[in-house]
Structure 1
């Protein structure tokens, strides 16, 4: 004999009816929170964003929706919110896949306009359309606060064409124009975009008017001396740029001199990365001399710049005099030699603020390298004891 079938409770049937008809009747009325949660747990995952975006904040619903579209997702890069992650990834996909001949620009603008309430970070891994990014700022008004844009192509395979990669001069012009009046963007990443001097000068023409970007990443490009001269103008007394990433470019001595002139008076920079450039002994020397009394810089990276004896003398003087620097990387500058590394070691021993000094592959005597580590560890312990006693 078959067991009697259980009859669902009326409240459970009501929950199912509300969920099934939510698109036609998008409201929770006066339902208690526990029933709203039961409804969102069984809601369809293809409901229009303009319907559920404003009504549903339940993270479990947005987690299910994210997992249905993408794999291996981690919300930590999206404000630890699955809802924010869904809107950011959804908009990212729409922009990356935008094709003017096949996609409606009006639909894309509508998506941007609606998404602006939920989007803070926009990370574009490719932009084959080379669309005017001014559209993003026009539609989204007060967002995003973080923009990374890389003019690459995903999964090109045998159809690789070098001309399809990197920013064009027109892209730089459009972005520069948009940045002139933008007041909400705080982080801009245009790394690995094939930016040469002409392109970065065009970009700088817009950045010089921008007073909101505090973190600028132009690493892994082709910026040389003329481009560095244009970027140096961004670091005047009005500058708000705190973090500047210029690693892996083609900056030589003259570009370093342009940078050094503004570093003498700049009071905004807290982190400067010049790793893997070509500044040479003289270029590194003038940068270090400019930073002797800089009141703000906390992190400096001069690794792999062919610095030599003149640079290490200026570097040692900077370490002795500068009281704000906490992290210093001068690794892979073999021109220092044992004598230069000894100078640097003596300077570090008389510096109470430095918490990290990387001088690997600089020709240092093992005893000097050990002494640098020991001096820094001593200052760290003293600092911890002082903080513990407050």
Structure 2
């Protein structure tokens, strides 16, 4: 620094005519100025002590997390600066800020749709975190501690699990130098397929997630590529039994989805036997499996009031024929809760279709029925015309992909003339005739408008009732 005294520069001048006398030296203020040697130096660049402390907290947050004792403004600064990769064992119960968890989700997962997770970023993070642990779990190789240590962190936030793959145990490769003849003989005795392989056991997990409401799982492997083997998609008997027991223990579950897992009749009956009288289960999805008539008879027990809160059953893309359809039809006559049933892409034929249609003549609860692609023809359409006249609860009927024909289309049109509740009737690729389809479409538009006005009136009535409350 260079300090310059400017008092020496004060010059005493004699007063000129008409001017005031110059000030004396004692009246001149001593002025000093500091000239910095660094031309870029400024007092504003010196950080505040508070900022230094906050930066120290941020740098050491994982080892010594300090957050709750800070003022809200300082807490916000810390949350904005700490790394998104800090161990969740530190942040799980400490941080509830949604902006922080949004930053964590964006940095870890390429696709984040928070609407599928109740609008909560923290819930999204921990649901995906637990899903990834399960999907990458290798039986007999990965320790159970990987899952059990994560349960306390996730249990308060996980409401939905969507498991898209389950890995089987790793096959043991033959030791080098083994006798090739012995290996081939052993393979021939065991058969062409490898021994059954068991997957992750959900029994150690589900009953420890007290907020779990939706559980979706597929027994298979994603992106196996050139390593494809049928055994990678095997749902063993032991898998089935352990899965059924785990779901039974989760007495607060509301939606169960087990699809694309080769569930056959025997496995379906094992699962159903453990779901009977489940206190909260509302939706069941067994789509894209191998369930036939015997399995359908077991599932009919669930519909027949043995699952008191069941409102939706999806059996799409199975191999159910007319015998299984008859069992389901009988269950519909007894059901007082089921509102949606999907039998799309099965093989129930006219015998099964007529059985279900006759059941709908007495059923007053079901609102949606999907029988598309089931080899139905005019006889089934004739009974559905009676259903349209007698049934007042159905709002959605899907008969697409069947061979209804022009005569069947006319019969359904006659039924629609007397119906005021159905708002969706799908006859695509059913050869129902253009004239019939046009007339049915006009009736559907009228029913949709009536439904809209009815709902509007209901909302007005509810609002009026609410406003009158003290």
TM-score where L is the length of structure 2? 0.79
* Bigger Cα Rg: 2
Once the two structures are superposed, residues 312-353 of structure 1 have per-residue CA deviations (whole angstroms, 9 ceiling, x without a partner) of 12111111111111111101111x211111110111121111
Question: Cα RMSD (Å) of the superposition?
Answer: 1.6
Alignment partner of 1:237: what SS?
Answer: helix
Rounded to whole Å, the distance in 2 between the matches of 1:166 and 1:376 is: 45
Q: How does 1:261-276 map to 2 (within 5 A)?
A: 261-276=330-345
Question: Is 1:105 matched with 2:144?
Answer: yes
Among 79, 85, 92, the alignment partner of 1:53 is 92
Contact kept, 8 Å, 2:135 with 2:164, in 1: the verdict is: yes
**Displacement after TM superposition at 1:2 (Å):** 4.2
**Displacement after TM superposition at 1:22 (Å):** 2.0
Rounded to whole Å, the distance in 2 between the matches of 1:343 and 1:97 is: 54
Contact kept, 8 Å, 2:252 with 2:279, in 1: the verdict is: no
User: Which position in structure 1 is the counterpart of 2:371?
Assistant: 302
The farther-off stretch of 251-260 and 4-13 is 4-13
Contact kept, 8 Å, 2:93 with 2:153, in 1: the verdict is: no
Rounded to whole Å, the distance in 2 between the matches of 1:380 and 1:100 is: 53
Rounded to whole Å, the distance in 2 between the matches of 1:382 and 1:123 is: 38
**Displacement after TM superposition at 1:235 (Å):** 1.4
Rounded to whole Å, the distance in 1 between the matches of 2:154 and 2:454 is: 48
Question: Is 1:324 matched with 2:363?
Answer: no
Alignment partner of 1:76: what SS?
Answer: helix
Among 200, 205, 225, the alignment partner of 1:131 is 200
Among 172, 177, 185, the alignment partner of 2:253 is 185
Alpha-carbon spacing, 1:224–1:29, altered in 2? closer, same or farther (3 Å): closer
Contact kept, 8 Å, 1:204 with 1:234, in 2: the verdict is: yes
- The runs of 5 or more residues in structure 1 that have no matched partner are none
Once the two structures are superposed, residues 62-108 of structure 1 have per-residue CA deviations (whole angstroms, 9 ceiling, x without a partner) of 12212222212211111111111111111111111112343221231
Question: Is 1:32 matched with 2:71?
Answer: yes
Contact kept, 8 Å, 1:109 with 1:139, in 2: the verdict is: no
Q: How does 1:172-321 map to 2 (within 5 A)?
A: 172-239=240-307, 240-321=309-390
Question: Is 1:150 matched with 2:218?
Answer: yes
Contact kept, 8 Å, 1:180 with 1:209, in 2: the verdict is: no
TM-score where L is the length of structure 1? 0.95
- The runs of 5 or more residues in structure 2 that have no matched partner are 1-37, 169-198, 461-470
Q: Aligned pair count? A: 388
Rounded to whole Å, the distance in 1 between the matches of 2:155 and 2:162 is: 14
Alignment partner of 1:45: what SS?
Answer: coil
Alignment partner of 2:231: what SS?
Answer: helix
Once the two structures are superposed, residues 272-297 of structure 1 have per-residue CA deviations (whole angstroms, 9 ceiling, x without a partner) of 11111000001000001101132221
Alpha-carbon spacing, 1:303–1:86, altered in 2? closer, same or farther (3 Å): same
